[in-house]
Structure 1
Amino acid sequence: MLLNGLAAGCIYGLIALGFVLIYKATEMVNFAQGDLMMLGAFVAFTLIEGFGFNYWIAFIGAVAIMAAFGYLLDTLILRRVIGQPQFAVVMLTIGLGFIFRSGASILWGTETRAFDTPFTGGVMRAGGLVIADVNASIVAGTAVLCAVLYAFFRYTRIGVAMQAASQNQLAAYYMGIPVKRVFSLIWAISAGVAAVAGILLAPVALIDVTIGLLGLKAFSAAVLGGFGSIPGAVIGGLLIGVIEQFAGIYLPEGFKDVAAYVVILLVLFLRPQGLFGNIGRKRV
């Protein structure tokens, strides 16, 4: 159950990572992040079942397509609301989520979809444990992606430029960084990460238009870890996943479904900045 919880937590962590990346750069909360995950899974399904690509080519292709979609989404729509009240931004992203779900139901229907992966049906045995290959692939995929993102932000010029833009937009602009383009690239990365989460989740939960609602639990993970902390997003996701699994075992029926929301309420009461976040103050 611990391993199952960690696998589920990795998915929450990847979605939460998208929340945090966008918020750190633009101070926008993207409530359509879970629906981007759903679209990424459907795109991979189309490439595999519709065009006959193998899993790995479809994986890369779906991530690239969703990254381009995220870039265009910011360039054409979301950039227009920068500087508007936060409520307007929240309502826009919630509305986009509804549009994405409706569009997915038109294109792919409302029935559940699935596709085979190299990990489907396989198991590993370690001592007395039997570990499903799909769960191991989720944990391994999350670890590899986090390492790639760390190296990208730490050692590349565009990664450093993204960090600079997220810390001080005006100073970054004066230093010659194309802030608007950087924001679009961050949206592209966020959408690509969401696609990875959707593809890794597909063998476990199957695909339908409602899986994007997992974004609400991922939001709890982002709050638990600290909404401005990238490592906190992943750790928060792991904690939420494990808490859910054990709540389903040791607590009365139904508690598993609300465990993430109970956690977010407790965090907001006891430590609003989250486990790894900092308290920020603004003088008005």
Structure 2
Amino acid sequence: MFEQQLINALTLGSVYALFALGFTLVFGVLGVINLSHGAIFMLGSYIALLLVSQFQLSLWLAMAVAMLACGALGVIVDFLVLRPLRRRNAPHLSPMIATIGVAIMITNIAQGLFGAENKRFPFGTIPEDSISIGNLHLTAVQLAIVLISFILMIVLLLVMRRTQLGRALRAIAESPKAAYLLGINVEGLFLLTSFAAAALGAAAGVLVGLSFNAISPFMGQPMLHKGIAVIILGGMGDIRGAMIGGLFLGVAEVMSVAYLSSDFRDAVAFGLLFLILLVRPSGMFGKILERKA
């Protein structure tokens, strides 16, 4: 049924969009592609799983703690890895290579601590109830994923568009040097951006763990590939583009599985992305951001 597939696509696309938001936020403000984002996404799901299964915390409290913990890790990565490279005016490839190393380290630590096999949230972590509207069936998991994703995305969009903090971040995205001369605490906002991006990645990790009921140390790499595709499709550094691009990728994947075959899932989705980028190489929302001064 087409309408049911749209619900499934909205659920999957919401998670992709949430993951890509943190990714594009770092690129838009810091001007780097943080390739450790997928590993932090994976770690967030493990932290929530540990808190739920071992400490009997509620899922939502566990998710909040996971976001805070991964946000702190994002700050540590920025302080220890990205900040020294910024001060040395390192080439653009240096942060990418450095964060690849961070991702490999986090993945190997997770594999050593939790094992390579898939883990699952305990039965009953979230109610198994569903809402039926005609022939449509919306489970509690799907409803929670869509609501949490859209709430976090809207909050981020409002912060960026309507607050003094958002204006300061946009100023830094345009020119860090000019922002510094205007009295903006550039380094402090770099750290805050890293915190927010990692926290969003952790939230996406928890939601993916709930959606697929499978958590593994290697779940971050496929999501990283899709996150890169989403932010390129939407326009590098553009929050609206990350949201719409994530939803588009979710629709493309679900519809290809429903009406073609699961074997063609990624081929169809990335093929459509390729065709769109042939028409609009800079993405759906304008040109790629360029730093000035």
Compute the TM-score of the two structures, normalised by the length of structure 1: 0.93
Aligned to 2:48: 44
CA drift at 1:87 = 2.0
Deviating runs (4+, > 3 A) in structure 1?
Answer: 116-120, 154-157, 279-283
Whether the 8 Å CA contact 1:120–1:203 is kept in 2: the answer is no
Aligned to 1:108: 114
Of 67, 92, 101, the residue aligned with 2:98 is 92
1:147 equivalenced with 2:154 (yes/no): yes
CA drift at 1:33 = 1.4
In structure 2, C-alpha distance between the alignment counterparts of 1:24 and 1:159, rounded to whole Å: 12
Whether the 8 Å CA contact 1:220–1:263 is kept in 2: the answer is no
In structure 2, C-alpha distance between the alignment counterparts of 1:282 and 1:207, rounded to whole Å: 38
CA drift at 1:152 = 2.3
Superposed counterparts of 1:1-284, under 5 Å: 1-82=5-86, 83-116=89-122, 119-205=126-212, 206-213=214-221, 214-252=223-261, 254-278=263-287
Q: For structure 1, which segment, 61-70 or 271-280, has the greater mean C-alpha deviation from structure 2 after superposition?
A: 271-280
Residues 19-67 of structure 1: CA distance to partner in whole angstroms, max 9, x if unpaired?
Answer: 2101111210112212211111111111111222222221211111111
Which 5+ residue runs of structure 1 have no aligned equivalent? none
Q: For structure 1, which segment, 93-102 or 36-45, has the greater mean C-alpha deviation from structure 2 after superposition?
A: 93-102
SS of the residue corresponding to residue 137 of structure 1 reads helix
CA drift at 1:280 = 5.8
Residue 269 of structure 1 aligns with an amino acid whose one-letter code is L
CA drift at 1:198 = 0.9
In structure 1, C-alpha distance between the alignment counterparts of 2:291 and 2:66, rounded to whole Å: 40
Residue 184 of structure 1 aligns with an amino acid whose one-letter code is L
Compute the TM-score of the two structures, normalised by the length of structure 2: 0.90
SS of the residue corresponding to residue 130 of structure 1 reads strand
In structure 2, C-alpha distance between the alignment counterparts of 1:280 and 1:186, rounded to whole Å: 17
When residues 49 and 72 of structure 1 are mapped into structure 2, their CA distance, relative to the original with a 3 A threshold, is same
* Percent of paired sites with the same residue: 33
In structure 2, C-alpha distance between the alignment counterparts of 1:73 and 1:261, rounded to whole Å: 30
Residues 219-277 of structure 1: CA distance to partner in whole angstroms, max 9, x if unpaired?
Answer: 11111111121011011000000001111233355210333332343233221111113
In structure 1, C-alpha distance between the alignment counterparts of 2:25 and 2:6, rounded to whole Å: 28
SS of the residue corresponding to residue 131 of structure 2 reads strand
SS of the residue corresponding to residue 131 of structure 1 reads strand
In structure 2, C-alpha distance between the alignment counterparts of 1:279 and 1:222, rounded to whole Å: 10
Q: For structure 1, which segment, 118-127 or 209-218, has the greater mean C-alpha deviation from structure 2 after superposition?
A: 118-127
SS of the residue corresponding to residue 80 of structure 1 reads helix
When residues 118 and 27 of structure 1 are mapped into structure 2, their CA distance, relative to the original with a 3 A threshold, is same
SS of the residue corresponding to residue 77 of structure 1 reads helix
In structure 2, C-alpha distance between the alignment counterparts of 1:40 and 1:67, rounded to whole Å: 9
In structure 2, C-alpha distance between the alignment counterparts of 1:176 and 1:140, rounded to whole Å: 37
Residues 133-191 of structure 1: CA distance to partner in whole angstroms, max 9, x if unpaired?
Answer: 21121111111101221232234433332222112111110011111111111010000
CA drift at 1:8 = 0.8
SS of the residue corresponding to residue 231 of structure 1 reads helix
When residues 81 and 281 of structure 1 are mapped into structure 2, their CA distance, relative to the original with a 3 A threshold, is closer
Give the number of equivalent residue pairs: 283
